[in-house]
Structure 1
């Protein structure tokens, strides 16, 4: 019993993650063009015909640019919140738009996709956990801080896409203006390598077989640096750095125990009341 996962692209130039079984799959975000998505899936031996839906984490351009063409060409349902749809100004046929609510799984064939809120500078941002064949896959990127939602779901995962956006020293010494540096590390921006490593070392479940380090900054991080950092603590978990230039291989993730998605209590999160919507200055 297993699922197949791959990163088609990961970074501020576009994000797209594939999760599927032998019969159906979903994409989480589609920030690269339809043509490039097709090319990369073809190189991996994956078919767009197996993709049954797109789930959208938030409205920033690097997560949604490819959606209108991709959804229209393949008549895919797009699961997106009203606020994300509004702020993203996406042009999608009305009949292809489907909502979702936090903590309530959406069934796509034999896959169950559950969203939960995250801290990021967007209108209504969500992370996802995908369950199928007793395997849990987490997609945890664009996270300002590792809140309880992230940690609780991370502990359930057999594999995960986890943001490791920036090295703290590189960001501090880099050329970004002070206000942008503060925005990136200010709690509603992105996870640093150090924060991501702490999530991994303190909360990694024994059954986690694969970790994709995702959404690396072009200017404030190094794939070699973050690979080395995590390899030192990896144990039996395979560490893959998801590239901003090409797709990863397809990895098969096996179930090691009968695990189902965890559901958090439906309580209001203080950061959801105050989470600001920022101008989309995509420099990182």
Structure 2
């Protein structure tokens, strides 16, 4: 019975030592996963806020050009057109300007005397609209900024590439989508939500306080798992070394206690 008892006790000591050694490894992996997820959340939020700052700046340039042209809406197209074209040329983000009276376009820097009825309700917050294709650029979408002081108004048109260049400037894995009502714009295209790039994980939505469009930010599906796997691959050897050292110390402490002489009776 003594050999069996000794073997059983040794097995228990081995299992206890193994569990003690695995504890820092398991805790380290858990902390590592939490740190990866927290870092991703922070990156998404920072990127989304920086995107709003950059896109708001583009909108501000369209607003500035529209404000300068607004007084021209009170004149005839022939009189206003030279100055209207100069205003458009001075702002690189502006592709064209249109003058509006009573929700009817009557003058355009591209076409001169031009007649077109607009629907204010088709604009996000009565100010912004994305058209997947423009009359002058059927293969490229345009962003339309509307400034209205009824009965006069101005439409400022910008190519969507202006927004896409801003989105391409973010050098990280965050996928950004801009929403203008039912239309979306991302770094390489535009369309409906069903067409947007994969941003299924950790999706964050922020709304521009000034212009009311929405920024959707997120990571592609499985990105978190791949990030954790990469972090584990880089860190696991160090954690295993800590676990082995912890097991060795625990085993030495138990072995020392077992070999310690029993106290002599008084």
Q: Same fold (TM over 0.5)?
A: no
Indicate the structure (1 or 2) with the bigger Cα radius of gyration.
2
Instruction: State the TM-score, normalizing by the size of structure 2.
Output: 0.22
